[in-house]
Amino acid sequence: VGGMMCNDCVSKVKTNVAKINGVRRVEVSLDDGRANVTYETTQTDPHAIQTTVNELGFVVTLPEKIQPSSATLSVEGLNCDLCALSVQRVLTSKAGVISVTISVEERKVLVDFYGYEVKASDLCRFVYNAGYPAVVVSEQGPPDLESALFSVAGMTCMSCVNSLEGLLSCTEGVEGVRVSLQDGTAAVVFVPSMVTTSQIVEVINNAGFECHVKHRVPGDSSDSEATPLLKTASVKTASVFLLAADGRNEPLEKCHLHVRGMTCASCVSAVEKNLLKLEGVAQALVSLLAERAEVKYDPRKVSPLQLVEVTCDLGYQASLIEDLEYQYGEIELSIKGMTCASCVSSIETAVLKQPGVTKASASLSTQRGHFVFDPEVTGPRHIVHTIEEMGFEAAPAGVNQTDVDHLTHAAEIRKWRRAFLISLLCGVPTMAVMVYFMMFADTDSHCCLLPGLSLENLLLFLFATPVQFVGGRHFYLPAFRALRHGMANMDVLVMLATNISYFYSVAVLAYFMAAQADHSPMTFFDTVPMLIVFLCLGRWMEHLAKAGPRHTSDALTKLISLQATEAMLVTLDNQGEVVTEKRIDVNLIQRNDLIKVIPGEKIPVDGKVARGTSNVSEAHITGEPVPVAKEVGSAVMAGSINENGVLLVNATHVGKDTTLAQIVKLVEEAQSSKAPIQQLADRIAGYFVPTVVLLSILTLIVWIVVGFSRIEIIHKYYGTVKGMSDSEVVMQFAFQCALTVLSIACPCALGLATPTAVMVGTGVGATNGILIKGAEPLETMCKVKCFAFDKTGTITRGTPVLVYVGLLSQARASSSRALLALIGTAESGSEHPIAKAISSYAKQLLMTDILGSCENFEAVSGLGLSCRVGNLSGILNVASDKSTESDRPDLPLVEVQHIGKGTLQDASHEGAWDGTHDVLVGNREWMKQNSVVVPAFVDSLMCKKEMLGQTVILCSVDGELAGVLAVSDTPKPEARATVRALKEMGFKVVLLTGDNRQTASAIAQEVGIDEVFAQVLPSHKAEKVQQLQTRGLKVAMVGDGINDSPALVHADVGIALSNGTDVAIEAADLVLIRNNLYDVIAAVDLSRKTVRRIRINFFLASIYNLVGIPLAAGVFMPFGVALLPWMGAAAMALSSVSVVTSSLLLYL
d(CA 217, CA 195): 15
DSSP code at position 970 = P
3-class secondary structure, 1133: helix
Which helix or strand (DSSP H or E) is residue 210 part of?
A: strand 210-217
d(CA 567, CA 601): 9
The pair phi, psi for residue 636, each rounded to 5°, is -125, 160
- Look at residues 297, 272, 273 and name the one whose alpha carbon lies nearest to residue 285: 272
Question: How many Å separate Cα 474 from the centre of its chain?
Answer: 37
> CB neighbours (10 Å) of residue 97?
21
Alpha-carbon distances of 895 from 892, 929, 937, 1029, rounded to whole Å: 10, 29, 18, 42
Give first-to-last CA distance, the chain, whole Å: 77
User: How are the residues of the chain apportioned to helix, strand and coil, as percentages rounded to the nearest 5?
Assistant: 45, 20, 30
Question: Which of 790, 995, 1044, 1069 is an active site residue?
Answer: 790
1053-1057 and 1035-1039 strand pairing: parallel
Q: Using an 8 Å Cβ cutoff, are 1038 and 1055 in contact?
A: yes
Q: Using an 8 Å Cβ cutoff, are 1052 and 783 in contact?
A: yes
Which helix or strand (DSSP H or E) is residue 840 part of?
A: helix 833-846
Residues 6+ apart with CB under 8 A from 1143: 756, 757, 759, 760, 1093, 1097
Q: What amino acid is encoded at 583 in this protein?
A: R
The string of DSSP letters for 667-730 reads HHHHHHT---TTHHHHHHHHHHHHHHHHHHHHHHHHHHHHHHH-HHHHHHHH---TT--HHHHH
3-class secondary structure, 665: helix
d(CA 297, CA 249): 11
625-659: b (≥16 Cβ within 10 Å) or e: bbbbebbbbbbbbbbbbbbbbebbbbbbbbbebbb
Walk across the sheet containing 97-103 and list its strands: 97-103, 108-113, 69-75, 134-140
Residue positions counted in the chain:
1148
3-class secondary structure, 451: coil
- Look at residues 977, 625, 926, 1025 and name the one whose alpha carbon lies nearest to residue 791: 625
Question: How many Å separate Cα 36 from the centre of its chain?
Answer: 34
Asked about 790 being catalytic, the answer comes back as yes
- Look at residues 759, 783, 751, 755 and name the one whose alpha carbon lies nearest to residue 681: 751
Walk across the sheet containing 578-585 and list its strands: 578-585, 566-572, 594-597, 647-653, 606-611, 635-636
The pair phi, psi for residue 304, each rounded to 5°, is -55, -35
d(CA 137, CA 343): 75
3-class secondary structure, 625: coil
d(CA 49, CA 866): 34
> CB neighbours (10 Å) of residue 1148?
5
Q: List active site positions.
A: 790
